[in-house]
Structure 1
């Protein structure tokens, strides 16, 4: 589950911590990505932005033992003259690692990167994952990453590149190819696929979208790494057919289409804590937990 920044940025009462822990335990959430950024352009995060992180971590350990609290860190990646975080610069990547160390020193159980957009030729991102993995493994923590859904056809990627040059905010979809997804999976402990924001007009198409991406992603990396398929608990700005019901049913159909269960754990990633209503959780319990 992705959780809002206020949990690390503001003080909270014991009752608020207990309510959060109850949601996490009742819905069998294994990992919570607490927004602790975003990164500044130089790869740092001012400590004032996460002043309450230690209290949060201690409360989660006490009230929801066994649940991993991860520091969710992201930013818009620099492309040409657009974006804020230039991970091509070694000094920026070094600062990111220093930020990661500070988060782990506070007690976070892992680092969760959501740096966008990431294209399948992004070697700087791969180097960042290599360096971060060395740090998290040394500390006995986990490294997770959010990625866009796979390309529909890998062969289309060079066509996009030729027809729609990346130029600032105008760019073709930053979708990983199968080869790039495997490269990322080999460097992290968890991959969360941002399967939502599909902008499809019918519930049937939405369900097929989630089923197709779930089956394909788990076939590719389900034996290598823990996979979470992102599902939405918000309504898109435009009145499309995407909702939690259709997403969960689609993910389940994708899992059922596999010849066998993946070797590694898998599940859904709830996006997001701050948009999930009591009715949404009830739906999640019925459709996903079979309660």
Structure 2
């Protein structure tokens, strides 16, 4: 009994130690500035419904003021056969023409995805070569319209998904031949790669699918070798203190940039929606965490990196104000020297 009691005390100590350590670490403000390469996931209405010229100008101004370089315009989803009905993106030509006028440096990408069929659940079967062929034909349609790239968001994607990698190979060949971009949204990295086989054995299905879909280091490198941009969906932490949420974003920023930051552009996804479970998670906390993760890097990645705002349909003016405050631009050299002096 005494051994059980001591074990309980030890476990309780660990439970208390982690939040306490995170709280102490959180008190030191980050020194890293924000970056000038950032992304935004945008609502389907931009490609599906008409807008006024004033609305386009206002949106373009918002992108410029907030240093948004890449916008993933929701243009799907894919049908089960890999197609997208034309009526879903009937406003895309007008949108692209307006962005060319008012925000010519912003890269508008077609955000396309669907629920991946796994173990009989889901909608689109990427293991079917004919479906992948249709997906590529759909990609061509959007590139022909003038989109700067294709942004895939298929979920769930497991680190043994050879069909998804095959689709990326074919898509990269297409986008590269057109001088366009391929970007991919993927879940945050698993905490322990070696645990994936254990999850696979013990959790054959979770919510209709297999074990939690988290990429391993090997799989992230495989994505980075194929995609021009990798957007990490680091949100939905479901943690209960801001310091723990911040630590989560800091660690994923550090791990991901260390792992693939020399190979591809990385965007750390940060939320503006209000989670019903992780009440401590918000945009300022996520941005501060990402900056602290950048502080922890031994050196800066060779490729550009930034954050991805999820999403424009949940982002208020107050959120944008918080973003500009917590993701400040890099100080000009002259001003930085004055501040140090």
Does the TM-score normalized on the shorter chain lie above 0.5? yes
Partner of 2:300: 261
Q: CA deviation at 1:169?
A: 1.6
Q: 2:204 & 2:177 partners in 1: Cα distance?
A: 40
- 8 Å Cα contact 1:71-1:111 kept in structure 2: yes
Q: 1:237 & 1:14 partners in 2: Cα distance?
A: 36
Equivalent residue for 1:224, pick from 252, 263, 268? 263
Partner of 2:142: 103
Task: Specify every segment of 5 or more residues in structure 1 that has no aligned partner in the other structure, as ranges.
Answer: none
Q: 1:96 & 1:167 partners in 2: Cα distance?
A: 27
Task: Specify every segment of 5 or more residues in structure 2 that has no aligned partner in the other structure, as ranges.
Answer: 1-39, 331-341
- 8 Å Cα contact 1:82-1:168 kept in structure 2: no
Partner of 1:243: 282
TM value normalised by structure 1: 0.98
Q: CA deviation at 1:18?
A: 0.9
Q: 1:45 & 1:29 partners in 2: Cα distance?
A: 27
Partner of 1:45: 84
| Residues paired across the two proteins, number | 291
Q: CA deviation at 1:239?
A: 5.5
Whether 1:209 aligns to 2:209 is no
Equivalent residue for 2:205, pick from 166, 172, 175? 166
Partner of 1:194: 233
Q: 1:55 & 1:170 partners in 2: Cα distance?
A: 39
Partner of 1:91: 130
Output the aligned Cα RMSD. Answer: 1.1
Instruction: Note the alpha carbon deviations across 1:57-99, whole angstroms, 9 max, x for none.
Output: 1111110011100000000000122100000000000000000
TM value normalised by structure 2: 0.84
Partner of 1:61: 100
Change (3 A) 1:181 1:239: closer
Q: Secondary structure at the match of 2:167?
A: helix
Partner of 1:6: 45
Instruction: Note the alpha carbon deviations across 1:36-73, whole angstroms, 9 max, x for none.
Output: 00000000000000000011011111100111000000
Q: 1:23 & 1:265 partners in 2: Cα distance?
A: 21
Structure 1 runs of 4+ off > 4 angstroms?
none
> Larger relative CO (CA 8 A, sep 6+): 1 or 2?
2
- 8 Å Cα contact 2:118-2:209 kept in structure 1: no
Partner of 1:286: 325
Q: Secondary structure at the match of 2:226?
A: coil
Partner of 1:134: 173
Partner of 1:151: 190
Q: CA deviation at 1:126?
A: 0.2
Q: 2:329 & 2:50 partners in 1: Cα distance?
A: 35
Change (3 A) 1:24 1:183: same
